[in-house]
Structure 1
Amino acid sequence: MAQRAEWTDPQCPVARTVDILGDRWSLLIVRDAFDGARKFSEFQRNLGIARNILADRLRTLVEHGILTPKPSGSGTRHEYALTDSGRDLFTVVVSLRQWGERHAFRHEERRSTMIDESTGHPAPTLRFVNADGIVLDSTNTHVRKVDDH
């Protein structure tokens, strides 16, 4: 993974993640990679993103080990594939999707739906639970800061 000269908040995992993925284009590139996009031209067509911005975001995602370039079948260009680190972002993307379903659309607005291929039904809502199955949220968790003992 590439190291940054300066992190927004060096000891906070949320801040570091936002430093790497915190603009809309990076997350949408990752989303499209989950949906099967692999080529520069596919990302550009799907997103309507300027070539220079796309090239910069792809370079950053490769530098941070989220995507890896692979030779394409034509041999003249390469494709981008999610790494294990990139695939670990699936839950993040689904969480953002589900938040958007609840809060970014009016009830009657049409929107895409994530489907569980094994059942054909919409994917269930993500839940953050502990080992005993108790739902965890901001009322029953806290962050232990580095300086805390």
Structure 2
Amino acid sequence: MKTAKEILSHILAPYESKLSLHRCLRKIIALMPQNYKKYITQMSYKGDVLYIKVSHPALRQEIFYKRNLIFSLIKTMHSAGICKQINPKKIITDYKYSPPPKPPKEIKFYIRKVEDFDIKAKNPEIKKKFEEIKEALKASCR
């Protein structure tokens, strides 16, 4: 019988190159300075071009000017022996507007007394169990 690790490796084998590419792109984002990292929304690699999408238009130009930083990060990753499949010749930054997130809806809930719940079970055994739980809750609240 196969182990879980063997089964997962067999299922994910066709997608291994895409998964490793995605992991490498995540590592590049993690190694970037904090003020760049929080505005990067997406990073993709096609051909010899690294595409970076940001959520602020000023940062688009700033990353474009500091693209040598990204090239040096990739070079240090290559010297460490990881992410050899990423070797961009060019970096393209793009600004994509995304509206600010909406505040969460207000959730209202009402607190009832513990012993005030209705038992709607039709089965007498289940109804008896709920009655026992109700009595236990009444005793613990006093």
Task: Give the TM-score, by structure 2 length.
Answer: 0.26
Structure (1 or 2) with the larger CA radius of gyration: 2
Greater per-residue helix proportion: 2
Q: Which has the higher contact order (CA 8 A, sep 6+)?
A: 2
